[in-house]
C-alpha cells in the first residue's frame, strides 16, 4: 500500500504539474539545443545538462521537492529549491570568475609575447 501511494504521489498530475512540466521540458530542450548548436561551451555542457535533467525531473514531479524537504528537515519545501538554486548559482559565478581571471592572465601573457616578438622583428640581432 505504501508503494502504491508513493507511486500515486509521484505520478499524480495536478494542474500546476502540467505547467511546471512544460516549463521544465522547455528549459531542458533549450539547453540541449544550445549545446548542440555550440552556443554553450562543451566543458560547461555537463553542468547545463544536469540543470536540464533537474528541470525535467522537478518539472514533472514537483512533489519530489516536498519529499526532499521533509527528508532534509525544511518545513517550507520551496525554500529548499531556493537555497539549492542560490548555492548552485553562487558556485557557477565563482567558477566563471576563476575562468575569467585565467583568461585575462593568458591574454596579458600573449600580449607580452606579441610585443616582444614585434620588438625582435623590428630590431634584428646581428651575429
pLDDT for the residue 102:
95
Name the DSSP class of 101: H
Average pLDDT, whole number, for the chain? 82
CA dist., res. 116 & res. 110, Å (int): 10
Q: Could you give the CA distance from residue 119 to residue 113 in angstroms, rounded to a whole number?
A: 10
Q: Is the pLDDT of residue 12 over 90?
A: no
- Residue 55, Cα to own-chain centre: how many angstroms? 11
pLDDT score, position 5: 55
Residues 6+ apart with CB under 8 A from 88: 51
Average pLDDT over residues 41-47: 76
DSSP letter at 40? S
Domain boundaries, the chain: 1-61, 75-127
Q: Is residue 3 left, alpha or beta, with left meaning phi > 0 and alpha meaning psi from -120 to 50?
A: alpha
Instruction: State the cell numbers at 6.
Output: 508513493
pLDDT of residue 4: 46
- CA dist list (Å): 121 to 87, 110, 116, 127: 51, 16, 9, 15
**pLDDT score, position 2:** 46
Give the integer Cα–Cα distance in Å for 58 and 24: 7
The pLDDT of residue 7:
52
pTM of the model: 0.65
Amino acid at each position: 500500500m505504501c508503494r502504491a501511494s508513493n507511486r500515486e504521489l509521484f505520478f499524480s498530475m495536478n494542474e500546476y504539474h502540467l505547467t511546471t512540466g512544460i516549463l521544465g521540458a522547455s528549459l531542458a530542450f533549450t539547453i540541449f539545443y544550445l549545446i548542440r548548436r555550440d552556443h554553450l561551451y562543451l566543458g560547461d555542457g555537463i553542468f547545463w545538462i544536469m540543470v536540464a535533467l533537474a528541470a525535467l525531473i522537478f518539472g514533472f514531479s514537483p512533489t519530489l521537492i516536498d519529499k526532499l524537504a521533509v527528508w532534509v528537515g525544511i518545513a517550507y519545501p520551496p525554500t529548499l529549491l531556493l537555497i539549492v538554486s542560490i548555492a548552485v548559482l553562487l558556485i557557477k559565478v565563482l567558477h566563471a570568475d576563476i575562468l575569467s581571471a585565467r583568461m585575462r592572465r593568458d591574454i596579458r601573457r600573449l600580449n607580452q609575447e606579441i610585443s616582444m616578438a614585434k620588438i625582435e622583428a623590428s630590431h634584428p640581432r646581428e651575429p
